[in-house]
């Protein structure tokens, strides 16, 4: 599933998907990270757990800077929560993002 979501995000960026929309059904998460980011590395084990429950796309800030720029990401880590195809939350706290994913999942 992770590969599908990653491919979808790259395809949407290349085809001009709006910066605040994503057609993935249900709640999903885009995680912007870098290998040099200590907070990103600290969050990695929890991110693996989140990916078992929700679609997660990881975007490497250094190698996929065009995607980060498209979403106006300038601080790491940044987590974008999507629900019903729209960005509904932007946070630097993975626990906050996880709670939002659960909340939006219950609403559907």
Residues 5, 40, 59, 76: which is the catalytic one?
A: 40
Question: What string of H, E and C letters represents the secondary structure of the chain?
Answer: CHHHHHHHHHHHHHHCCCCCECCCCCCEEEEEECCCCHHHHHHHHHHHHHHHHCCEEEEECCCCHHHHHHCCCCCCCEEEEEECCEEEEEECCHHHHHHHHHHHHHHC
37 is catalytic: yes
Residues 6, 10, 37, 92: which is the catalytic one?
A: 37
17 is catalytic: no
Catalytic machinery residues: 37, 40
């Amino acid at each position: 599933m992770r590969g599908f979501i990653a491919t979808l995000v790259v395809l949407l960026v290349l085809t001009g998907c709006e910066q605040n929309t994503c057609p993935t059904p249900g709640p999903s998460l885009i995680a912007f990270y870098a290998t040099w980011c200590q907070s990103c590395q600290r969050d990695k084990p929890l991110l693996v757990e989140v990916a078992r429950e929700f679609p997660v796309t990881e975007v490497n800030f250094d190698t996929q800077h065009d995607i980060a720029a498209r979403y106006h990401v300038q601080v790491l880590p940044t987590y974008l929560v999507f629900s019903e195809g729209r960005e509904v939350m932007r946070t630097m706290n993975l626990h906050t993002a996880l709670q939002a994913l659960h909340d939006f999942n219950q609403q559907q």
